[in-house]
A and B are shown apart, each in its own frame.
Chain A
Amino acid sequence: QKEVEQDPGPLSVPEGAIVSLNCTYSNSAFQYFMWYRQYSRKGPELLMYTYSSGNKEDGRFTAQVDKSSKYISLFIRDSQPSDSATYLCAMSRATGANNLFFGTGTRLTVIP
């Protein structure tokens, strides 16, 4: 079993829709959770990171962590064609960890 599971999609939604992206994980030692966005032929860029269970909001993006269920989500409100990208979840055991554990990524297309 992979440590981080993520549905690869692809996911297509109309412009303006609310998008829900999810990851599950098996290792209860993970404490830090991140979402990266990766455009085609580019490296991943950090969107959001969270530490504790609960919600964190940044503009149209909301990250949600449920440690009891080992489940994290990223919600995108009022989705735009420019949001079309691959979204990767990532997690880490500690602040000083040397590496992150990534999901496979979900490819999202927002149709105008």
Chain B
Amino acid sequence: GAGVSQSPSNKVTEKGKDVELRCDPISGHTALYWYRQRLGQGLEFLIYFQGNSAPDKSGLPSDRFSAERTGESVSTLTIQRTQQEDSAVYLCASSFRGVGALGGYTFGSGTRLTVV
């Protein structure tokens, strides 16, 4: 597609439920990133994929968070047993190779997750 697509755009879930967030990167972008944006805070790095491997998972806040990627395509971020502090906008970005540091990221519009 023309841009990074994320779904759903909004998700309201009950505390304790599992949620899956989806990211469709730009075709041909080998690198994919997940960030979290909580209200009043900067973007927090969660995980980085190069192809379908994740060489950097250092930002995942707990073992309730996991992510996978199929080939150089769709990625899914899963949050198990959601807590209220998980409420945030989850942003996905993709780029060619790992050149994000030079501004090669293209971000999606995010999934706004609300845990009630």
Taking the complex as formed, is A6 at the interface, i.e. its CB lies under 8 A from any CB of chain B? yes
* Contact indicator A49/B107 (Cβ below 8 Å): no
* Contact indicator A94/B42 (Cβ below 8 Å): no
Stretch at the interface among B69-77, B78-86, B95-103: B95-103
* Contact indicator B91/A100 (Cβ below 8 Å): no
* Contact indicator A100/B110 (Cβ below 8 Å): no
* Contact indicator A43/B40 (Cβ below 8 Å): no
Please name all residues of chain A whose beta carbon is closer than 8 Å to the beta carbon of B116 when the two chains form the complex: none
Please name all residues of chain A whose beta carbon is closer than 8 Å to the beta carbon of B12 when the two chains form the complex: none
* Contact indicator B107/A102 (Cβ below 8 Å): no
Q: How far is the CB of B50 from chain A (nearest CB, A)?
A: 8
Task: Categorize the interface residue count of chain A.
Answer: 20 to 34
* Contact indicator B43/A102 (Cβ below 8 Å): yes
* Contact indicator B101/A103 (Cβ below 8 Å): no
* Contact indicator A45/B101 (Cβ below 8 Å): no
Chain A, Cβ-Cβ closest to B31:
A98
* Contact indicator A96/B101 (Cβ below 8 Å): yes
11 A-B residue pairs with Cβ-Cβ distance under 8 Å, sorted by A, are A46-B103, A46-B105, A92-B100, A94-B101, A95-B101, A97-B101, A99-B59, A100-B45, A100-B105, A101-B42, A102-B44
Chain A 26-44: CB-based contact to B (< 8 A → 1; otherwise 0) = 0000001010000001111
Please pick, from A41, A49, A98, A99, the residue contacting B109 in the complex, using a CB distance under 8 A.
A41
Residue from the set B99, B101, B112 with the largest chain A CB neighbour count within 10 Å: B101
Measured CA separation A93–B107 after assembly (Å): 20
Given A44-B43, A104-B42: A96 in contact with B98 (beta carbons within 8 A):
yes
Please name all residues of chain B whose beta carbon is closer than 8 Å to the beta carbon of A102 when the two chains form the complex: 35, 42-44
Taking the complex as formed, is B93 at the interface, i.e. its CB lies under 8 A from any CB of chain A? yes
